[in-house]
Chains A and B, each alone.
Chain A
């Protein structure tokens, strides 16, 4: 079946540091890949997505590239800020398998210190 593996947190960085959160996946078909973010006290929000190999999703300074050869979708940001502190979830959606809902990783908590 489908699965998503993320690096464990918390990840603690100083402001303006470079961020990488690793995400790898297993899927039987050709999934779409997503990063969702959950700010404290709020619901999940879509951060970015990529629907096919080599696509790059980007939003709010965050980027992730769909790498089919390494089955990865790592999240990066060049300079994090305190408001980026949140929990980040990598997810996939594989319409080909009939399980047409998101499969999530366990989440990675990011803490950015001033």
Chain B
């Protein structure tokens, strides 16, 4: 069974440009998470979806970040415009529901120059 798939693995962009990350969760997993991992730190939650509904987006900087999960399956996370401080690894995870183990993708490493 395929795990959580994220793309791209690496992305380098100039500041003020837009960028998007894509996540395909494990089949049948209703809960999807986006985490931000800064260098040398643990992941921090950006947004959690239950099916297609964003149920916890309190940590998502809504002035420049947006996310969607159409049809409750794949999800995209977008930054527009990107800032230097957005350089980090963006992790996607999924679980059957909020009470079960979360499985993580390999992440997208973003570098803003």
Contact = CB atoms under 8 A, between A and B. Distances in A.
Given A95-B98, A101-B56, A43 B40 contact: no
B105 interface: yes
A100 B107 contact: no
Interface in B1-32: 3-4
Interface in A63-114: 89, 91, 95, 99-102, 104-107
A42 B106 contact: yes
A43 B48 contact: no
A42 B44 CA distance: 18
A100 B106 CA distance: 22
Interface string A36-48: 1000011111100
Nearest to B43: A104
Q: How large is the interface on A (under 10, 10 to 19, 20 to 34, 35 or more residues)?
A: 20 to 34
A50 interface: no
A21 interface: no
Contact of A46 (B48, B98, B101): B101
Contact of A107 (B4, B40, B48, B105): B40
Contacts of A44: 43, 91, 93, 104
Contacts of B106: 41-43
A33 interface: no
Interface string B35-55: 000001111110010000000
B42 A43 contact: no
B102 interface: yes
Interface string B87-101: 000010100001101
A101 B40 contact: no
A34 to B, nearest CB: 8
Interface of B: 3-4, 33, 40-45, 48, 56, 91, 93, 98-99, 101-107
Given A104-B44, A106-B41, 17 more contacts: A41-B106, A43-B105, A43-B107, A44-B104, A46-B103, A49-B101, A91-B42, A99-B45, A100-B48, A100-B98, A101-B45, A101-B48, A101-B98, A102-B45, A105-B42, A107-B40, A107-B42
